[in-house]
Amino acid sequence: MEFFVNNNKLDITLENEKTIGDVLRSFEEECAKNNATTIKVIINGKTMRAEDFDSVGSQEINDSTKLELTVISQDDISENFKNIKLRCQEIAPSLQEISVKLQTGKDKEANALIAQLADLLDNFCHTASLSSLFPDKFKELLIDGKSFSDFFADFTQILNDFEQAIASKDTVLIGDLSEYEISPRLLAIADAIKE
């Protein structure tokens, strides 16, 4: 059997594990001891869905079985949150200058900043979602006194308006949304992330 964790091949010795389910259960027990959990399982090149666990888990292991697991730990999530906090604090002031960049022909810099914003928000949503796997460590995230879902319900409309402003090349609206709506919300996200 070939066994990979986060793209690293591990040399493991099976004890009493006979099936894929046995291996996954043993591995998850070890993960739990280390404040980690498995977030993705690929068996012989095919991603396993949660509803397939019973049928796939009962398959016997043989020499050609290849298991690839993606694992995340509480420490990984904490580190991601720290990086997100720093990125929010870096990008928020830059967003206040975006209309100047657009009006002075620095479109390339403005577009790079918009791409960074999109990556940051994607990373934040993904990390916040993963943090729910460790409810004892990560309490519900409150941003500006709102739950994560309520905060993003409001923010999504602003981001949609921002996307439309970009599509229509409305530099005034892009600048206004960046400075008065998006930048303060990034700072609110940074404030919500505890050390």
Q: How far apart are the first and last CA of the chain?
A: 41
User: Rounded to an integer, what distance in angstroms lies between the CA atom of residue 85 and that of residue 189?
Assistant: 7
Whether 183 contacts 115, CB under 8 Å = no
CATH topology for 2-73 is Ubiquitin-like (UB roll) (3.10.20)
User: Rounded to an integer, what distance in angstroms lies between the CA atom of residue 143 and that of residue 133?
Assistant: 19
Is the full-model pTM beyond 0.85?
Answer: no
User: Rounded to an integer, what distance in angstroms lies between the CA atom of residue 155 and that of residue 111?
Assistant: 20
According to the model, what pLDDT value does residue 70 have? 92
Whether 90 contacts 119, CB under 8 Å = no
According to the model, what pLDDT value does residue 9 have? 92
Regarding beta strands 66-73 and 146-147, do their DSSP bridges make them parallel or antiparallel, or are they unpaired? unpaired
| Domain ranges, ordered by start, for the chain | 2-73, 75-192
User: Rounded to an integer, what distance in angstroms lies between the CA atom of residue 123 and that of residue 70?
Assistant: 17
According to the model, what pLDDT value does residue 59 have? 85
Q: Which residue has the tokens 């993963």?
A: 130
Q: Which of 102, 103, 124, 104 is nearest to 113 (CA)?
A: 102
Block means of pLDDT (10 residues each) for the chain, 195 residues, are 91 84 88 90 88 83 89 93 95 91 87 93 91 83 85 91 91 91 94 80
According to the model, what pLDDT value does residue 176 have? 92
Task: Using alpha carbons, list the distances in angstroms from residue 166 to 35, 45, 101, 153, 171.
Answer: 42, 39, 14, 20, 8
User: Rounded to an integer, what distance in angstroms lies between the CA atom of residue 111 and that of residue 174?
Assistant: 11
SS3 of 3, please? Answer: strand
DSSP per-residue string spanning 57-105: HTSBP-TT-EEEEEEEEHHHHHHHHHHHHHHHHHHHHHHTTHHHHHHTT
